[in-house]
Each structure stands twice: as C-alpha cells, then as structure tokens.
A = this chain, B = another copy of it.
Amino acid sequence: MTSTATPAYDELAATCRRLHHLEHLQSLAGWDQAANMPPKGNDARAAAMAEMSALLHRMRTEPAFGRRIDEAEQEPLSDLQRANLREIRRGWVADTALPESLVQRRALATARCEHAWRTQRPANDWAGFVDNFRAVLAIGREQAGLLAEKTGVSRYEALMDQYEPGLSCAQVDRVFGEVRQWLPGLIQQVLDHQRTRPLIEPVGPFPVAAQRALCDRVMRLLGFDFDAGRLDVSTHPFCGGVPEDVRMTTRFTEREFLGSLMGTVHETGHGRYEQNRPRDLLGQPVGQARSMAIHESQSLSFEMQLGSHPGFVALLAPMIREAFGEQPAFEPGNLQRLLTRVKPGCIRVDADEVTYPAHIILRYEIERPLIEGEIEAEDVPALWDAKMQELLGVDTRGNFRDGPLQDVHWPEGLFGYFPCYSLGAMYAAQWFAAMRRAMPDLDARIARGDLGAVFDWLRDHIWTQASRWTTDELARRASGEALNPAHFRAHLQARYLGC
C-alpha cells in the first residue's frame, strides 16, 4: 500500500467497503427470505443471518476502528471525507452504545412479544399483550437511556436519531403542533367537500398476471431501471438490495388492484432513490440514503405527490384499461376521486393522505412520554381513545385490535420511527413546492407525461446528495428552508379543496 496523508481515514474507508460487501449478502438473504424461501429453509436461514449479524457487529465495534476515527479527525480531509467521517462516527457511537447483553435481551423480549402479538391482536387481548410489552418497553427505555448518554440528547430523541439523525423533539413538537391546529378542521372541510362526489367502484376480479404487467409498465414510466433491479412478491412489501441491484416487492389480491399498484408506485420511489445514490461513494456511510424521513419523502413524492396528481392519473387510466378492459370506473376523473377519497378510520396503514398525520401525531404523543417514563403501558388505551376522538372523531373504545394493537412497531420495540412517515409526507410536499417555483409549468409537464423534470430535480437535489449533508442542510439546499409543514397544508388544500 502506498503511503498517504490520511492513513487512518483510508483504513476506515476500506473497512466500510468490506462491511458494505458483506451487508450486500445479508440484504440479499433477507430479500430472498421474504420473496423466495421455502418454509423448511427458515431455521437454516435464520442461523446463517444471525452468524453474519454477529460477524458484522464484531467488525463494526472493533476497538481499533474507534481509534482510527479519532486519528482520522486529525488528518487533512476534504469536505466530503469529513462528511463521511461524521457519518462513520455516528454509526460507531450507535453500534458501541449498547452492551451485547442488552442487545440479546432485547432480541428475546421483542421476539416473544411480537410472536404472541400475532394471535393477541386478532383476539383483542390487550391484557395478554401488556404482560409481554412491559419487558419490551423497559428495555426500550434502557436502550434510550444508554444512547442518550452517548449522544447528549433526550431519551426519545436518542431513539428517533437512529432513523432520522439530528431530529429534535422541539422540531417535531413545532411541526406536529402546527399540523394539530389545522388538521381536524381541514379533514372536516374535505369530508363536506367530498360528501356528494359521484364515485364508481372498479369491478373485479383483477387477474394477478395483468396486475403484475401493469406494475411493470408503471415502474418503467416512473423510470425504474429493470437492468438494475427487480419486482417480486412478498407478504409485506419492501425495497431492499443494493443500488446496482434493487429488490422491490409488492403483493397482489384479485379483489382489488389500486392498493398494490399504488404500493408499487410507493416502493418505486424508494427504489429510484437507491438506484441513484452516487456510485463513487458506494460502500461509504456518506453514500447512504440520508435518513428514513427523507426516504419516505421519496416514496411519498411518487405515491402521493405524483401518484394521485390528476395529470399523472390521466396517464395511468389508459394503462389500467389495457390491463383489465374498459370499465366506467377507469375514467380518469373517477380514478383520481378513488385515489383521493378521505375517510377517517382506525387503521393507520389504510389511512388516506389527509388523515394519515393524525395517526402519527397520536403515536408520537403516546410513544414519547412512554419512553421518557411519564406514562406506563397500562395508560395507553385511554390515551389512544381520547386522541382518536379528538383528532379523527373515531370511537375506538374496547377495540384494541384496531387500536394500540394494530402496529408491529411496538411489539418489535421500534420506538421513535413513527414520526418519519409524516415528516416524509411533509418533505415531499416541500420538494414539489420547490419544483413548482423552479418550473411554473410543472403540472402541465406531468399531465403530458414529461416526468423527467420531476426525476431530474429529485436526482440532483436528493438522490445524488446521499448523506453528504445533515437533513436540515439537505432541505435548505434543495428547497431554501428546513422542514416547513405549510407546504404540506397548501398541498392538501389544493388537492382536496381545490384552493
């Protein structure tokens, strides 16, 4: 090896590349487990992936790796290298914050809770769930405490930080506080506005092969590169793989097609972000996608900003007719009304774009005091009912199944993730507002199928920027300001109230 002025940094970068290659195999094994693996392969696969996890953990927490980070700080690094070092250190702090014993206890407690939850949810068994969940929560608090100690932020912030680096409760409080002011009123206005709209339901069945071909065609329209990725089927859709080989999944039911079509449009947003991460930074933390909120801002740019845009829906309509034959429901205006139908309900994953943030605000307002120790697991159902009533006017009393038992996040101990979903929707609105300022004819372009302008903007401002900047800085460079929920409000008003 030739000597350089940055030996410690170079060693870190080489280790990151090695980790990246091994993580590629791990990611592929995870995709295959969901998309291909026959049932009897499960134990062997779990053992193989656990072995790899342990190996990766050892590599990431090697004490020498930590020493190199300190040494590299003193080296003459470029701005890009310094950004990479920042991300390397962030990973190091997170990976070394938790003792092995906690990681193991956490795995056991969440596995037990999640496994029991699968039957407790359909049985509406909140009491049974709480028995297991107490342990998950206790470990979540412990984990939050250790992470907070290392990073100097509050406990809940330390958990959010894993998914959205640097996100503060003050910022979330400000943003969600604003939304809370106008959202219930807006929902009521939209409901009044939509009450008398004519709506024709599509008539199934919709053959899976035709749905699959339609999804392929729409993914191509959305610029997905099938030479660098695939679409397969799994129970829970996701987007995995590596940028050169993105593995997206979806699911189909013959009863209905709009759900899986829009799910595929959503995942295609994740997929294009991944496919367009900068090739020269691959394998380095600075080359990773910025954060989960920014990732969601891409899937929601595709699914919501584009996907139910009247111009885009008019492009979809002939493809839908070609896939399933002529139906009155496939008239573009009707399709767009179907895609923008607003209906307050109990279930987050079934929620429309307008009511969705209410579900997230509720979870944030319960999760945060849970982690900070201000409330206990037993307090959740009453809070849930009160907030559902207040935010959406929905009565969930006694219905734990469609209440606090509905999400897999809590049984799995994933605290601090929920805000990313709604922040992503808000960032997406902010990106499209910035695009419209730069291209006043954007909507006309979309209507005539010229989507290149959208993709070019996202590529230049988001995809190729990867983790070079903090999220706030990325937002400022892309749109002139940090997260501002006014754009999301304006988007909802324009799309749902025509004002």
Tell me, in angstroms, the Cα distance from A43 to B283 when the chains sit together: 13
User: Which residues of chain B are near A49, meaning CB under 8 Å?
Assistant: 25
* Residues in chain A within 8 A of chain B (CB atoms): 18, 21-22, 24-26, 28-29, 32, 36-41, 43-45, 47-52, 55, 225-230, 241-245, 282
Q: Is the CB of B37 within 8 A of A245?
A: yes
User: Which residues of chain B are near A50, meaning CB under 8 Å?
Assistant: 21
Closest to A275 in B: B40
Tell me, in angstroms, the Cα distance from A38 to B45 when the chains sit together: 23
Q: With A18-B51, A25-B26, A32-B32 known to touch, is A44 a contact of B244 (CB < 8 Å)?
A: yes
Closest to A244 in B: B44
- For A48, give its contact among B25, B37, B44, B48 (CB under 8 Å): B25
Q: With A48-B21, A51-B18, A52-B21 known to touch, is A245 a contact of B26 (CB < 8 Å)?
A: no
Q: Is the CB of B38 within 8 A of A25?
A: no
Tell me, in angstroms, the Cα distance from A45 to B243 when the chains sit together: 11
Q: Is the CB of A245 within 8 A of B45?
A: yes
Q: Is the CB of B39 within 8 A of A227?
A: yes
Closest Cβ of chain B to A39, distance in Å, is 5
Closest to A23 in B: B48
Closest Cβ of chain B to A25, distance in Å, is 5
Tell me, in angstroms, the Cα distance from A29 to B242 when the chains sit together: 13
Copies of this chain, how many?
A: 2
Q: With A21-B47, A24-B44, A28-B32 known to touch, is A38 a contact of B230 (CB < 8 Å)?
A: yes
Q: Is the CB of B28 within 8 A of A244?
A: no
Q: Is the CB of A52 within 8 A of B25?
A: yes
User: Which residues of chain B are near A24, meaning CB under 8 Å?
Assistant: 44-45, 48
Q: Is the CB of A41 within 8 A of B242?
A: yes
Closest Cβ of chain B to A274, distance in Å, is 12
Q: With A32-B32, A45-B245 known to touch, is A227 a contact of B25 (CB < 8 Å)?
A: no
Q: Is the CB of B21 within 8 A of A227?
A: no
Q: Is the CB of A228 within 8 A of B29?
A: no
A selection of 28 A-B contacts at a CB cut-off of 8 Å is A21-B48, A21-B50, A21-B52, A22-B48, A22-B51, A22-B52, A24-B44, A24-B48, A25-B25, A25-B26, A25-B28, A25-B49, A25-B52, A28-B28, A28-B29, A28-B32, A36-B230, A38-B226, A38-B228, A38-B229, A38-B245, A40-B244, A40-B245, A41-B228, A41-B245, A44-B244, A44-B282, A45-B245
- For A244, give its contact among B22, B43, B282 (CB under 8 Å): B43
Q: With A244-B44, A245-B45 known to touch, is A29 a contact of B38 (CB < 8 Å)?
A: no
Closest Cβ of chain B to A201, distance in Å, is 32
Tell me, in angstroms, the Cα distance from A85 to B47 when the chains sit together: 23
Closest Cβ of chain B to A280, distance in Å, is 13
Tell me, in angstroms, the Cα distance from A44 to B277 when the chains sit together: 14
Q: Is the CB of B227 within 8 A of A40?
A: yes
Tell me, in angstroms, the Cα distance from A241 to B40 when the chains sit together: 13
User: Which residues of chain B are near A44, meaning CB under 8 Å?
Assistant: 24, 242-245, 282
Tell me, in angstroms, the Cα distance from A159 to B261 when the chains sit together: 55
User: Which residues of chain B are near A230, meaning CB under 8 Å?
Assistant: 36, 38
* Extra inter-chain contacts (4) besides given A28-B28, A44-B245, CB under 8 Å: A21-B47, A25-B48, A38-B230, A43-B244
